[in-house]
């Protein structure tokens, strides 16, 4: 009888420890990226405005660790390569203007954003857009 009570108490304690341990664990989520400009398949006319607006918000439930922003064409010509300092921010608003030069015909471009948090969880988001002279 004493042995059964001891086993029952032991199991109750173990169950309580498991419940407490699991309730303290937080589920880490990957960073999010919400792109404002450019939107997928936008066509930007440099005759109307000589600038391409790059605007988005990166966020994480804990803290961001790293962010990279790249704009390139299909020939791997880079128009923007940026790694803004985001370390420690939960939210980071990015707004940049680029002035692509040498555009003589409509070019397909890609905006690629990578955001990483301290748990090394990474999100990559890409948008294809077009720039014409």
Residue 88 sits in a domain of what CATH number?
Answer: 2.60.40.2550
Structural domain count of the chain:
1
Question: Would you state the pLDDT for residue 4?
Answer: 57
> Would you say residue 42 lies in a domain?
yes
78: region left, alpha or beta (phi > 0 left; psi from -120 to 50 alpha) = beta
Q: Which domain holds residue 85?
A: 32-132
Q: What is the mean pLDDT of residues 48-71?
A: 96
How confident is the prediction for the chain on average, in pLDDT? 87
Q: Is the pLDDT of residue 25 over 90?
A: no
Question: Would you state the pLDDT for residue 19?
Answer: 53
> Would you say residue 25 lies in a domain?
no
Q: Who has greater pLDDT, 21 or 100?
A: 100
> Would you say residue 27 lies in a domain?
no
Q: Convert the pLDDT of each residue in 70-114 to its tens digit.
A: 999 999 899 999 999 999 899 999 999 999 988 999 999 999 999
> Would you say residue 22 lies in a domain?
no
Nearest residue to 35 (alpha-carbon basis) of 114, 101, 109: 114
> Would you say residue 76 lies in a domain?
yes
Q: Is the pLDDT of residue 36 over 70?
A: yes
> Would you say residue 1 lies in a domain?
no
Question: Would you state the pLDDT for residue 101?
Answer: 87
> Would you say residue 81 lies in a domain?
yes
Residue 120 confidence class, pLDDT cut points 50, 70, 90: very high
Task: Give kind and range of the element (H or E) at residue 11.
Answer: helix 2-24
């Amino acid at each position: 009888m004493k042995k059964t009570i001891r086993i029952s108490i032991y199991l109750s304690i173990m169950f309580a420890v498991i419940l407490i341990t699991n309730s303290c664990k937080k589920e880490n989520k990957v960073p999010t990226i919400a792109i404002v400009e450019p939107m997928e398949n936008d066509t930007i006319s440099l005759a109307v405005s000589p600038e391409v607006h790059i605007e988005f918000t990166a966020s994480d439930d804990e803290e961001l660790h790293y962010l990279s922003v790249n704009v390139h064409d299909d020939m791997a010509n880079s128009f923007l390569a940026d790694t803004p300092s985001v370390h420690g921010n939960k939210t980071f608003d990015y707004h940049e203007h680029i002035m692509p030069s040498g555009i003589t015909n409509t070019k397909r471009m890609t905006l690629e954003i990578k955001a990483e948090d301290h748990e090394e969880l990474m999100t990559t988001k890409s948008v294809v857009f077009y720039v014409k002279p």
